[in-house]
Structure formats: structure tokens, C-alpha cells
């Protein structure tokens, strides 16, 4: 999969893209990630990418011309590319959307800065406006890194174990069950006996119930969209959960 990142700070990505699963996937040729310096598409000697907003107001707005030229210069590549603007006004990224994006051959990520981009770019050049949460960052670069990692984990070969992504939190709408490792007893804090039983069916049942309990306790709003069967609903009701 190919990611193109349009940014005024290409060096921002140098270190993060060299480590962990993303770095290994790039080395293996599973991912290709290129940074595109937006200033290369300016025409003035100051390489200006922003200007004051019409009508007055605080801050600066990213100019449309450089972004338009940068996007068009990239669209000549592989077909099926989607142009994504990282913005706090966008659709909030979740696991379902990440799975949809993981099926693309190529994503072009536009990193906004300052008070945002000229509205004409949003209206005419962008396929999807995306946010990573209901808060504001100084720019889209950090959000682009989050998007790349979330999507890349779902691409075959990026993770060493395919089932790791399949069992992540939010994959079925629930938080992941608690995990334990050695030692069995740590300063008196013991691993639940069920996990030491060797009974895979009972372990699976325990983990499912733990996921349901954890989600009900910490993120109950997720239950209304989660993939729940009859047994799940029965157990949740026994815990006091009431369907809306």
C-alpha cells in the first residue's frame, strides 16, 4: 500500500516511520510511505503556504494553490487513490473506517496547519475529511501518523501474527479482554485460574464476558453498535445493562 503525505514539515516523519511494525513493513516492501513538501509547490521566493483570512479573524489559512498543485501532481499514480484531509471537523476515525481504508491501494494524506485550509480545497479536492478525535492539534502530521498505523495494522503481512489485528479492541465493537503473562503470582497479585486451566472453550467464554464487562464499565456507548449475540445480551442484562 502506498501513502503520500502532503505536509510543510516532511522531517516530522523521519524517525517514526523507521521503527516498529511500520518500519519493518516498509523494509519488507509491504508499505511505501512518501512525504511531499508542500513548499515545493509554491511560486514565490518565500515559499508561502498560508495567508490571512478574508473577512478578518485570528490566525492564518493554508492557501489553495500549493495544495491543489500537490494533489494533482500525485493523482497521476496508481488508480483508486483517495485524498484525505486530516482535520478536527472530519469524520472520526474508528476501526470500521480503518478496515475500509485498508482495502485501498493508495491514500493521499493532506496535513492541515494553522486555522485550517482554504474551503475550496475541502469542497473540490478531498474525498474524505478525517479526524482522530474531538480535540485540536497544531497540525495534521500527528494525525497522519495515527491513521497510517491504524490502517497498516490491517494490511496482510504488516503484523507478525494475523490474528493480532482480528482480536484488537473495537474489531467487534468491544474493548479487549484483560491480558496476563508470567509470573503467575506477582507480589500476591495472581493470574485468574481459568487462564491456567488449558480449557480453551472456557477461556474463550471468560474472555468474551470480560470484554462485555469492561466495555459496559468503561465505554457503555459502544454496546449499542457492537456485534452481540443472544448470549452476550443475556449476560449484559444480568449485569444491569438496559438497551436503549
Same domain, 77 and 189: no
Count of C-beta atoms within a 10 Å radius of residue 15:
9
135, 215: one domain: no
CATH number reported for the structural domain that contains residue 231 in this entry? 1.10.1270.20
Number of domains in the chain: 2
- Residue 93 in any domain: the answer is yes
Q: Do 206 and 140 belong to one domain?
A: no
pLDDT tens-digit map of 133-170: 999 999 999 999 999 999 999 999 999 776 666 666 67
| Together in a domain, 198 and 143 | no
What would the DSSP string read from start to end of 185-215? EETTEEPPGGGGS--HHHHHHHHHHHHHHHH
The CATH number assigned to the domain holding 101 equals 3.40.1280.10
Mean pLDDT of the chain: 94
Q: CA Rg, the chain, in Å?
A: 22
Domain carrying residue 57: 2-152
**CA distance linking residue 68 with residue 71, whole number of Å:** 5
Instruction: Please state, in angstroms and rounded to a whole number, the distance separating the CA atoms of residues 111 and 146.
Output: 12
Shared domain for 121 and 221, answered yes or no, is no
Same domain, residue pair 11 and 115: yes
**Same structural domain for residues 107 and 194?**
no
Is 131 among the domain residues?
yes
- The pTM for the full model equals 0.89
Task: Cell numbers for 134, please give them.
Answer: 474531538
Last residue within a domain, chosen from 133, 152, 171: 152
Per-residue confidence (pLDDT) for residue 161, from 0 to 100:
73
> In this structure, is residue 175 part of a structural domain?
no
Task: Work out the average pLDDT over 70-78.
Answer: 81
Q: Do both 119 and 224 map to the same domain?
A: no
Bridge partners (DSSP) listed for residue 185: 190
Question: What average pLDDT score do residues 64-90 get?
Answer: 88
Cα separation, 80 vs 87, in Å, equals 22
Is 191 found in the same domain as 119? no
Last-in-domain residue among 127, 152, 177 = 152
Write down the residue that cell numbers 459502544 correspond to: 222
Distance CA 37, CA 18 (A): 19
Active site residues: 88, 115, 153, 168
Amino acid at each position: 500500500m502506498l501513502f503520500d503525505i502532503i505536509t510543510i514539515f516532511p522531517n516530522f516523519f523521519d524517525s517514526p516511520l523507521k521503527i516498529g511494525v511500520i518500519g519493518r513493513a516498509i523494509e519488507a516492501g509491504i508499505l511505501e510511505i512518501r512525504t511531499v513538501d508542500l513548499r515545493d509547490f509554491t511560486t514565490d521566493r518565500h515559499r508561502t503556504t498560508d495567508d490571512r483570512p478574508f473577512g478578518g479573524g485570528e490566525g492564518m489559512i493554508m492557501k489553495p494553490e500549493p495544495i491543489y498543485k500537490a494533489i494533482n501532481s500525485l493523482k497521476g499514480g496508481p488508480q483508486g487513490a483517495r485524498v484525505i484531509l486530516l482535520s478536527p471537523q472530519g469524520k472520526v476515525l474508528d476501526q470500521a473506517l480503518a478496515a475500509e481504508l485498508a482495502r485501498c491501494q493508495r491514500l493521499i494524506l493532506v496535513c492541515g496547519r494553522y486555522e485550517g485550509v482554504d474551503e475550496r480545497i475541502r469542497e473540490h479536492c478531498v474525498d474524505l475529511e478525517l479526524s482522530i478525535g474531538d480535540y485540536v492539534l497544531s497540525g495534521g502530521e500527528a494525525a497522519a501518523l495515527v491513521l497510517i498505523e491504524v490502517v497498516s495494522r490491517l494490511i496482510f503481512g504488516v503484523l507478525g501474527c494475523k490474528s493480532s489485528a482480528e482480536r484488537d479492541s473495537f474489531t467487534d465493537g468491544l474493548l479487549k479482554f484483560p491480558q496476563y503473562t508470567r509470573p503467575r503470582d506477582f507480589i500476591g497479585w495472581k493470574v485468574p485460574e481459568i487462564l491456567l486451566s488449558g480449557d480453551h472453550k472456557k477461556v474463550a467464554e471468560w474472555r468474551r464476558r470480560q470484554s462485555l464487562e469492561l466495555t459496559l464499565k468503561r465505554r457503555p456507548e459502544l454496546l449499542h453498535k457492537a456485534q452481540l449475540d443472544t448470549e452476550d445480551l443475556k449476560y449484559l442484562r444480568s449485569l444491569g445493562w438496559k438497551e436503549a
